[in-house]
Amino acid sequence: MSKRLSGKRILITGAAQGIGLAIAKAVVREDASVFLIDRDDVLLREEAEKLKGGEYHVGYIRADITDAKAILAVVEQACTEIGPLNALINNAGANVFSEPLETTDEEWNRCFDINLKGAWNCSKAVLPRLLEQDGGVILNIASTHAFTIIPHTFPYPLAKHALLGMTKSLGLEYAAKNIRVNALAPGYVATQKAIDYWNSFPDPAAAKAETMRLHPGGRIATPEEIAMAAVFMISDECPFMNATCLTIDGGLSVQQHPA
């Protein structure tokens, strides 16, 4: 542990598994205090207690980021348990993939409620705290869907494009207040979501192989690789990085055609 995040008190959403959990593990190793939220109460408690067992300063509670009033209470509790927040990682999200004309109102609302409104609810609740602390960091976990389009994934890319827009807007709005707002755009990551996606095909092994083939390096990212990028972006090592997005996809989004 290098203690790169000493003094950081971070709220992390969607922290019970996948990228969110990997980020939680990475930031506490770097001496941050964390408050974790997720909708999966059982898994959240299990993973958070493991972190607490490592003598890290960890708080947690089940919460739904789409409930703005509940998030205000969560932020209040987080500040009580781990101290005044000076960082937020908006990681919670949900894949909502469909054809445009087949997308139901329910799918549309769910996509934007979780992937955009939820991030705004958390940002809106935390921003006053950051202003009180004379600065801080918000990191939005976006996606390469924020600037590239994969057919048949509507309306997910719309929400991620909007999340990137919110990142830039808030970054500029509060730059003079010493608040940095950035985004991290992972491509394919070896999470349970990826496994579930492959398993949705008649031949999961072939689907996985096709995903790997798309990438210049022949593999996809691990959650831990995304987490270490998040550590850097939350840290004081990049004080002039603001209103921008760091892409981690192994070069996938810059190639015209797979080899």
Quick check: 50 pLDDT over 90?
A: yes
pLDDT confidence band for 205 (50 / 70 / 90): very high
Q: How far is CA 120 from the centre of its chain?
A: 13
- pLDDT band for position 72 (cuts 50, 70, 90): very high
Taking only the tens place, the pLDDT of each residue in 163-182 is: 999 999 999 999 999 999 99
What's the chain's average pLDDT? 96
Q: Quick check: 93 pLDDT over 90?
A: yes
Q: Across residues 26-40, what is the average pLDDT?
A: 97
> From the candidates 156, 174, 188, 197, which is the catalytic residue?
156
CATH number of the domain at 9-188+222-249, please? 3.40.50.720
pLDDT above 90: residue 48: yes
3-class DSSP string for 45-86: HHHHHHHHHCCCCEEEEECCCCCHHHHHHHHHHHHHHHCCCC
* Higher local confidence (pLDDT), 149 or 55: 149
What pLDDT band is residue 1 in, cutting at 50, 70 and 90?
low
User: In the predicted model, is pLDDT for residue 128 greater than 80?
Assistant: yes
Q: What contacts 68, CB < 8 A, 6 or more positions away?
A: 121, 124, 125
* Annotated catalytic residue 156: yes
Tell whether the model's pLDDT for residue 258 goes beyond 80: no
Which pLDDT value is given to residue 21? 98
Check residue 187 and give its pLDDT: 95
Q: What is the pTM of this model?
A: 0.96
